[in-house]
Amino acid sequence: MKLGVCYYPEHWPEEMWTSDAARMKALGLTTVRIGEFAWSRIEPEPGHYDWGWLDRAVKTLSDAGLEIIMGTPTATPPKWLINAHPDILPCDEYGRPRNFGSRRHYSFSSKTYRRESARIVEAMASRYGANPAIVMWQTDNEYGCHDTVVSNDADAQAAFRDWLSEKYQSVEALNKAWGTVFWSQEYRSFDEIDPPVATVTEPTPAHVMDWRRFSSDQVASYNAMQVEIIRRHAPGIDITHNFMGHFTEFDHFPVGEQIDISTWDSYPLGFLEQAWWDEDTKLKYCQTGHPDFAGFHHDLYRAMSKGRFGVMEQQPGPVNWARYNPAPKDGMVTLWTLEAVAHGAELVSYFRWRQAPFAQEQMHAGLNRPDHAADQASFEAEAALDILQSIGDLPETEQADVALVYDYEAHWAHEIQPQGKSFRHDELTLMFYTALREYGLDVDIVSPDQAIEGYKLVVVPSSPMLTDERVARWQRSGAHLLCGPRTGSKTVDFQIPKNLAPGALQNVLPIKINRAESLRPGVSRHDGNGSLSRWQEHVSVKPAIDLEVSGVVYGNEDATYISAWVDARYLSQIMRGVVDRCGIDGLALPDGLRIRRRGALLFLFGYCDGAETALPETALNQYKHIVLDLHTIPSRLAVYRKI
């Protein structure tokens, strides 16, 4: 387990580098990420590379005993490159270029940009691939940030046609899959097909779904290009990409498989502010983040690259980019650090070493203030290191009893066809996760496409595009299958299944959805057991011996289906019943407390004041406390070890 930091030597006078490096080391940091965004310094004029400063930066940091994570600078092509090749720019739905002047101003489909990206990555990797100071490479930065996965540029249009041609082979097959007979939308050739943009009213959902799938695939193939180059020059060295929070625009699993370790950028306060939570929830957690934000993403990104994950950017204080940017409560940076550890992270890297006094992120805190004095996060990083020392060797992360299926396509499907404005797939997914975590459970997140075994329960918040294969695979694992509303409601071609929803789930549970209603705010219904809102399905059942119907919940030995958007309290009640029946030990947690096990260790995280002390003593019978009031930072966490 390493703590690290993000550093931009090019932002500071060279004479500061040595002392910066020494102070990093003195603080106890191990790794330092550099390089990302530095294209205009690496190649200040077309074709003229300036490696001198970067060589010296690498040496200075390395000499101080720091391990270097090298980022490729492709998130920020320089102005001269854009001026020479305006076809690099991404375009909005009207085909208007999104201009130079910030970052991520490129289309994943731009042929020019793929060529130029390969050139700069080749140049960097060939220079530093064999340098032992470099322990990890990061491709690009935060793929898709600022709504950049989808671009309606000419290269993307052409590539989309090729992608469709490859997928469907014949335009007749496409017409059938999309149902283009509806409204005379039929195509006579792939050449006739445009992206589904700026249409008079909504385009065919299958058309949009393929456009989203295509756009997602472009991210993966772009990343694969960088990975291939780096591997060639730096064989055996870890490659990562830093993903984001609450980000669903592309399918992360294929990218995660290409790399060795998935990292993500954890900004619990900024993302709370930007996300869907209601005003009361945002107010309650505005200085801590939502209790399940970091944990959920740790579990998600642990799923990407065979279990290896880390935090590449950890929020250190107020940020600059949310609508409101308060300070974390004292102790939260320490808590977030240890929470990552509890979930199995092998790296937590703070963003950034020192707050920059200029440009877009000048109001983004760092470990140090712009005047070089240590900021609050430095003290909290120290506290985290003290606690890690108290803990000693970290046990391996073990497989949980529960797997939660995270389905990027499901996000897209529900975005493309919400049917009711309040049906948000990400919100529903997190509600299911929360219901598990409030019951004291560790959770593994899995891809809908992966083989699983050893789980007692597989939770599918909502996967419209269920296939027979998926259901059979989950069944084979022996786990009980708990599915939320709209699961199995579509074919992979975005059509209603011939046997209606829940489609392939009918292979294991004899129910059929006759009708689905979306409900406006204010409509609350009660099914006798609990209340529901937003969404309700009307279900008919085939008589079966073991089918139990309880309000909106239908279940048998193999599977349980919740046919409505049930409210959080009711969901918790349903979930606990299912968990108990699966023979999993649950533990009802007090408000704002989350726990996580790592081998013999038990971590408690208090997202409400004092929550970390609120667990009944009986729950800790088999544990002894190993981290106490170590530090001046107010403690919001506790660590126990199994006796």
Which of positions 255-294 make contact with a second copy (CB under 8 A)? Answer: 273, 279, 282-283, 286
206 lies in the binding site for a second copy (CB under 8 A): yes
Angle at 21 between CA 17 and CA 25, to 5 degrees: 170
519 lies in the binding site for a second copy (CB under 8 A): yes
- CA dihedral over 103, 108, 109, 110, signed as positive or negative: positive
Q: Is 533 exposed, middle or buried (0-12, 13-18, 19+ CB in 10 A)?
A: middle
* Measured distance CA(531)–CA(566) in Å, rounded: 6
Binder among 158, 492, 496, 630 for a second copy (CB under 8 A): 496
Q: Compute the least distance from the CB of residue 306 to a second copy, in Å.
A: 32
622 lies in the binding site for a second copy (CB under 8 A): no
Tokens at 81, concatenated = 């490159």
173 lies in the binding site for a second copy (CB under 8 A): no
Which is closer to a second copy, CB of 280 or CB of 393?
280
Contact criterion met (CB below 8 Å) for 129 and 237: yes
Q: Compute the least distance from the CB of residue 103 to a second copy, in Å.
A: 5
15 lies in the binding site for a second copy (CB under 8 A): no
Question: Where in 565-594 is the site for a second copy (CB under 8 A)?
Answer: none
Residue tagged active-site, from 142, 273, 339, 380: 142
Tokens at 514, concatenated = 């006759």
Binder among 196, 256, 461, 606 for a second copy (CB under 8 A): 196
* Catalytic residue list contains 142: yes
* Measured distance CA(540)–CA(186) in Å, rounded: 35
154 lies in the binding site for a second copy (CB under 8 A): no
* Measured distance CA(295)–CA(103) in Å, rounded: 29
Residue tagged active-site, from 36, 43, 313, 612: 313
Please choose, out of 131-139, 362-370, 393-401, 562-570, the segment that lies near a second copy by the rule CB under 8 A.
362-370
Q: How far is CA 196 from the centre of its chain?
A: 26
Binder among 130, 173, 181, 472 for a second copy (CB under 8 A): 181
Q: Compute the least distance from the CB of residue 8 to a second copy, in Å.
A: 8
Other CB atoms within 10 A of residue 625 CB:
12
Question: Where in 399-418 is the site for a second copy (CB under 8 A)?
Answer: 417
Side-chain half-sphere exposure of 517, counting CA atoms within 13 A:
12
515 lies in the binding site for a second copy (CB under 8 A): yes
* Measured distance CA(330)–CA(230) in Å, rounded: 40
Please state whether beta strands 511-518 and 564-566 pair in parallel, antiparallel, or not at all (unpaired). unpaired
Binder among 62, 111, 168, 194 for a second copy (CB under 8 A): 194
User: Which of 294, 303, 292 is closest to 568 using CA atoms?
Assistant: 292
* Measured distance CA(8)–CA(628) in Å, rounded: 36
Which is closer to a second copy, CB of 309 or CB of 535?
535
Please choose, out of 56-64, 389-397, 455-463, 511-519, the segment that lies near a second copy by the rule CB under 8 A.
511-519
360 lies in the binding site for a second copy (CB under 8 A): yes
Task: Give the single-character DSSP code of 200.
Answer: S
Strands (E), 354-465: 402-405, 443-446, 457-460
Contacts of 203 (CB under 8 A, 6+ apart): 196
Please choose, out of 76-84, 157-165, 252-260, 571-579, the segment that lies near a second copy by the rule CB under 8 A.
76-84
Please choose, out of 250-258, 336-344, 517-525, 552-560, the segment that lies near a second copy by the rule CB under 8 A.
517-525
Q: Is 554 exposed, middle or buried (0-12, 13-18, 19+ CB in 10 A)?
A: buried
Q: Compute the least distance from the CB of residue 643 to a second copy, in Å.
A: 42
Binder among 1, 133, 500, 626 for a second copy (CB under 8 A): 500
Question: Where in 524-563 is the site for a second copy (CB under 8 A)?
Answer: 538
Binder among 56, 79, 119, 526 for a second copy (CB under 8 A): 79
Tell me how many residues contact a second copy (CB under 8 A).
110
* Measured distance CA(109)–CA(159) in Å, rounded: 7
User: Which of 215, 255, 15, 226 is closest to 113 using CA atoms?
Assistant: 226
Binder among 31, 33, 54, 105 for a second copy (CB under 8 A): 105
Please choose, out of 332-340, 366-374, 394-402, 544-552, the segment that lies near a second copy by the rule CB under 8 A.
366-374
Angle, to 10 degrees, between the axis of helix 14-27 and the axis of helix 52-63?
30
Question: Where in 421-480 is the site for a second copy (CB under 8 A)?
Answer: 421-422
Residues designated catalytic = 142, 313
